[in-house]
Amino acid sequence: MANAAGPLARPSHFNQQDRLLAARQMGLHCEVGAGIHRAQYMVGQGPWRRLMANAYTANTSHVGKDLSGDKVRARTALARAGLPVPAQCRVGSAEEAVREASRMGYPVVLKPSGSRASQGVYTMLTGPEAIERVFPLIEEEHGDLIMEKQVVGQDYRLLVVGSRCIAAARRLHPTVTGDGQRTIAELSAAANVELGRDGIFNAPVTMDPETLQALRDQDMAPDSIPPQGQTVVLRKAACPASLAEDVTHLMHPSLARMAEQAAAAVQLDMAGIDLVCPDITQPWQGTGTAIVEINAGPAVDINSFPDLGAPQPVARAMLRTAIPAGQHGNIPVVAVVGRYHKQQGARHVCQTLRMAGLDAQTPDALDAPFPTALPPTRDWSAPGPAPGSRAMASKPWCCPCPGASWPAKACPWPSTPWPSSPTTTAPSRPWATNCRPQHSGSACTGWSSMRACAAWCSPPHRRR
């Protein structure tokens, strides 16, 4: 089932399930996998068909994705747009990092220039010793490093979809509370079970270098036993294991506008804006608020499925960016089934819909222009030859070539006596060079032109 794709394939992640359910509620065709890969899904049909993948849409700019992937260039673009960002610089060695930290002022943050999901991010570094201790760890695993001035406040994720800020969530750093009996490692394992951090849908807290550094800053270790009621911070930066609380209803309008301007500054139609803010209910000007990161293709589950608060309709907003309001995005399909004359019946339905003013098409590549008159009513499920086939076998008639208009007298080719029995020899006319027998036996319905019409024996083609 891992490689299954198609309308009935099960999505590989609950985010995709959410979008599939939203598409169904909106009446949109949604195909998981799209015959390409299970991470993709196709929304809509015909001219409104759009391919999407995770939190990327057909409108996502490659320039914006590339720009947001480099934290230094992204910060430069945000600063040029007049948005609040922390002081930042690249550092190539621990000595240079200590020197730049002295210039900026402690505390500082060290992180890779191109990481995601807060990997390799060390915050609240308060002295040269802390920098010299963590610098080799980040450099060995991630390479190029940057340093930022630490911004004091709470972590928030603002989500921009279709150039509009539609959701905000506060990210709560992982913590445990001591009971005077269990170690921090045991408390962390119990919290993972209690909060559903199973490693499948929710990331667990592990004793990785970032967690060990956070414990070291509190003069603790994984085997330490905190006293009753003491809160121990396991990670000082937001991470996939952080709990999410929806605060969309508390967000000040100025913060929403700032997030929209940030997404526009890096040319992204959908972006996750990470900012540190003392109070999300107040205007950001003069409060020390700063944008610390901007992400293309953001994880939207913290807004769609927050641990605390009301979920936001992120999936509907994403689908609406692909299929604008007022466009249904689907092509109505009429299926013609039966034992006999299905092709002629389909053409009859198509012609009727066209006469009603609809843009109807058949999947037949040999389809030809239709006449302006409706054909006689016919039960296409009845057995026997198609109407007009016996008469056409011995009576003169004219080729309905694509360049001709109806009635048949407008055809540029003269009338041609039709052969009375099926034969592989076509009539000696220029239009007949691409003709072939359509049927065989006594029920032969005539000839099928590969350039003109695939149903010569339908009523409109009768000799005039």
Q: In this structure, which amino acid lies at residue 116? A: R
Tokens standing for residue 409:
């007298």
What is the Cα–Cα distance from 189 to 197, expressed in whole angstroms? 9
What is the Cα–Cα distance from 71 to 89, expressed in whole angstroms? 10
Asked if 268 and 89 count as a contact pair (C-beta separation under 8 A), the reply is no
Confidence tier at 388 by pLDDT (50, 70, 90): very low
For position 299, what pLDDT does the model report? Answer: 83
Residue holding tokens 């005539």?
446
Residue holding tokens 């308060």?
126
Cα 35 to chain centroid distance, Å, stands at 15
Closest CA to 271 of 263, 282, 279, 281: 263
3-state SS assignment for residue 292: strand
Closest CA to 401 of 459, 342, 449, 339: 449
The string over 84-99, giving b where at least 16 C-beta atoms fall within 10 Å of a residue's C-beta and e elsewhere, is bbbbbeebeebeebbe
Other CB atoms within 10 A of residue 201 CB: 11
Q: Tens of pLDDT along 70-107?
A: 888 999 999 999 999 999 999 988 899 999 999 999 99
For the cut 90, the answer to whether the pLDDT of residue 18 exceeds it is: no
Cα angle: 247, vertex 252, 253; to 5 degrees: 120
> Where do the H-state alpha helices sit in 332-441?
342-355, 389-392
Other CB atoms within 10 A of residue 405 CB: 12
pTM of the model: 0.68
Q: Tens of pLDDT along 291-330?
A: 999 999 888 888 888 888 999 999 889 888 887 776 767 7
Q: Which residue has the higher pLDDT, 450 or 238?
A: 238
Partners of residue 244 on adjacent β-strands: 171
Using CA atoms, how far residue 421 sits from 85, 92, 288, 391, 429, in Å, is: 84, 88, 91, 12, 18
Confidence tier at 441 by pLDDT (50, 70, 90): very low
The string over 371-388, giving b where at least 16 C-beta atoms fall within 10 Å of a residue's C-beta and e elsewhere, is beeebeeeebeeeebbbb
